[in-house]
Chains A and B, each alone.
Chain A
């Protein structure tokens, strides 16, 4: 037996050699492991952690909630609704998934087209499948459990009142940034600040854990407007009806709470639905009541008279010659001559010759100053986007003819909201209370005309409705006053068109204790009537009578329906 022949010594030597080898191999591999570990844990640690995080940890934006816009009674006018935006990484996406068919059905998309879109985007690493999908649809899509489909919470603006008030509210873009109207004007406070959160994802890009909130999203601030949605609806409907009845082109209505200086309604026609932003027509998106400027025609006359009475040169007993006024080669005449009449009759019969005489007799600088104080030629809102200032020439540029024509509303341009602001001064006993689109924002008032002057003007305006050119403005049960205007529109070739008109009515109610001022502009009525007293005045009457009822302002005793035949067509 060979083994048996080995000596003890030989055995122990072999053991030493073998141990040495085994130990050597262990040391060798340990050394290798230590080197590798050092390489990974010490030398390359930062790089590797970073790479790992890049693959697993994501910082994602959390959409912030945009503030709601409410009317004065807290009815939402613009509200953000949560929606989901669905995107994919086309490189990793398997579009042959059998469930893709159901996805296209849920999205209301053509299946073939959707597949084609994804196939064509294979070189990209990001593709929107659909933006802003309503949550009940996206919940169904989530149930399909399609791999590598990303959902992101976003918000979409919804306007429950639609076309009734679209031009005032304006629009946001797809990223919920204000682009028009109030949405733009108050964008800074409405807009929320998005937050950031850190999440963990697995290799299928599935969200497995929230690690921490790096920055909390901050919701935007809600905004309460002075608008009363009920009155807005009344104004919108009355305007729309009048425009259709009179075959007119466009129009605007403003209703104001004069003592508070708050705008209750502001309607424009044509209108649009700002929920449906795929077909936008700039013509119907414009808030004409604030952005467009017009020659006001006879509706300016009360303000010239305001200066006339305030200066002490005229009072109710003053007699005015209304025979034609000759200035250079031009003659200003009325369609029917009235002879010598008092101030109230000049306004009631809307005599252009009489007004020219009064205007010419007033000092230019003080007249200009007062017109500016009424708000003409300056901005009256607190920054509505695109607001126009109108044009009130400086008195040094008037000349005699300019001053005379301005006295009956030509050569000066105003916005409907400026006219509402100016009539509010008369309604407020001579105090200018700046108009506001926000509720409860009391701005300081300043005096423009004496209280007595304002009272005199109110009684004169009432006469215009009682016996003058604007009988159709009357409101059963209430005393109201106002002034109509019919202006020729300027024609494209310069000068005035003879068959295109603008019908205006501006009025105050109730006369005993003025609360409401309404201004109605209707462009290019082409029906049977075109005078302000026939076209715009009935709109005023309809809006005011319903508004007074809604605001629970009691009537001052019933009156019978007035005879609706205006007898003077001289405005």
Chain B
């Protein structure tokens, strides 16, 4: 009985530890996701493309459309 009680307590501690690891990974995941989307904000991308790379939106005259046969 004492042995089982001890074992269950140890398993519980292990479970808690794993849950904590999971939570921490989740935290990192949501932080990274949020960060990614701040960096990938269309306003920012457009500004960078315009200012640093001198890019612009293609107008329709300069586009070629290819259709699948």
| Least CB separation from A163: chain B residue | B43
Binds B, one of A78-86, A97-105, A317-325: A78-86
> What bracket does the count of chain A residues touching chain B fall in?
20 to 34
By DSSP majority rule, is chain B's interface helix, strand, loop, or mixed?
helix
Which of chain A's residues have a CB closer than 8 A to the CB of B37? 75-76, 79, 160-161
- 21 interchain pairs, CB-CB under 8 A: A65-B26, A68-B30, A76-B37, A79-B33, A79-B34, A79-B37, A82-B23, A82-B30, A82-B31, A160-B41, A162-B41, A164-B42, A209-B13, A212-B12, A233-B43, A233-B46, A477-B60, A546-B57, A549-B63, A555-B60, A555-B65
Whether, in the assembled complex, B50 has its beta carbon less than 8 Å from a beta carbon of chain A, the answer is: no
Whether, in the assembled complex, B51 has its beta carbon less than 8 Å from a beta carbon of chain A, the answer is: no
Whether, in the assembled complex, B16 has its beta carbon less than 8 Å from a beta carbon of chain A, the answer is: yes
Expressed in whole angstroms, the minimum distance between the Cβ of B62 and any Cβ of chain A is 11
- Report whether A135 and B12 are in contact in the complex, using a CB–CB cutoff of 8 Å: no
Expressed in whole angstroms, the minimum distance between the Cβ of B9 and any Cβ of chain A is 9
By DSSP majority rule, is chain A's interface helix, strand, loop, or mixed?
mixed
Q: 8 nearest interchain CB pairs?
A: A160-B37, A233-B42, A82-B27, A477-B60, A210-B16, A476-B60, A554-B65, A160-B38
| B21-47, CB < 8 A from A | 23, 26-27, 30-31, 33-34, 37-38, 40-43, 46
Which of chain A's residues have a CB closer than 8 A to the CB of B38? 160
A229 with B31: in contact, given A76-B37, A210-B12, A555-B60 (CB under 8 Å)? no
Report the Cα distance A82→B20, complex, angstroms: 13
Which of chain B's residues have a CB closer than 8 A to the CB of A28? none
Report the Cα distance A549→B63, complex, angstroms: 10
Which of chain B's residues have a CB closer than 8 A to the CB of A558? 60-61
Whether, in the assembled complex, B67 has its beta carbon less than 8 Å from a beta carbon of chain A, the answer is: yes
- Report whether A135 and B65 are in contact in the complex, using a CB–CB cutoff of 8 Å: no
Report the Cα distance A261→B41, complex, angstroms: 26
- Report whether B43 and A76 are in contact in the complex, using a CB–CB cutoff of 8 Å: no
Report the Cα distance A164→B46, complex, angstroms: 14
Most buried by A among B60, B63, B67: B60
A81 with B41: in contact, given A545-B60, A546-B57, A558-B61 (CB under 8 Å)? no
- Report whether B43 and A160 are in contact in the complex, using a CB–CB cutoff of 8 Å: no
Report the Cα distance A476→B43, complex, angstroms: 25
Report the Cα distance A80→B27, complex, angstroms: 9
| Least CB separation from B57: chain A residue | A546
| Least CB separation from A478: chain B residue | B60
Expressed in whole angstroms, the minimum distance between the Cβ of A74 and any Cβ of chain B is 10
Report the Cα distance A68→B30, complex, angstroms: 10
Report the Cα distance A558→B63, complex, angstroms: 10
Which of chain A's residues have a CB closer than 8 A to the CB of B31? 81-82, 135
Expressed in whole angstroms, the minimum distance between the Cβ of A72 and any Cβ of chain B is 15
Report the Cα distance A245→B57, complex, angstroms: 21
- Report whether A164 and B61 are in contact in the complex, using a CB–CB cutoff of 8 Å: no
Which of chain B's residues have a CB closer than 8 A to the CB of A82? 23, 26-27, 30-31
Which of chain B's residues have a CB closer than 8 A to the CB of A229? 42
Expressed in whole angstroms, the minimum distance between the Cβ of B36 and any Cβ of chain A is 8
- Report whether B67 and A164 are in contact in the complex, using a CB–CB cutoff of 8 Å: no
Expressed in whole angstroms, the minimum distance between the Cβ of A509 and any Cβ of chain B is 13
Partner of A80 from B30, B40, B59 at Cβ < 8 Å: B30
Whether, in the assembled complex, A247 has its beta carbon less than 8 Å from a beta carbon of chain B, the answer is: no
Report the Cα distance A558→B59, complex, angstroms: 11
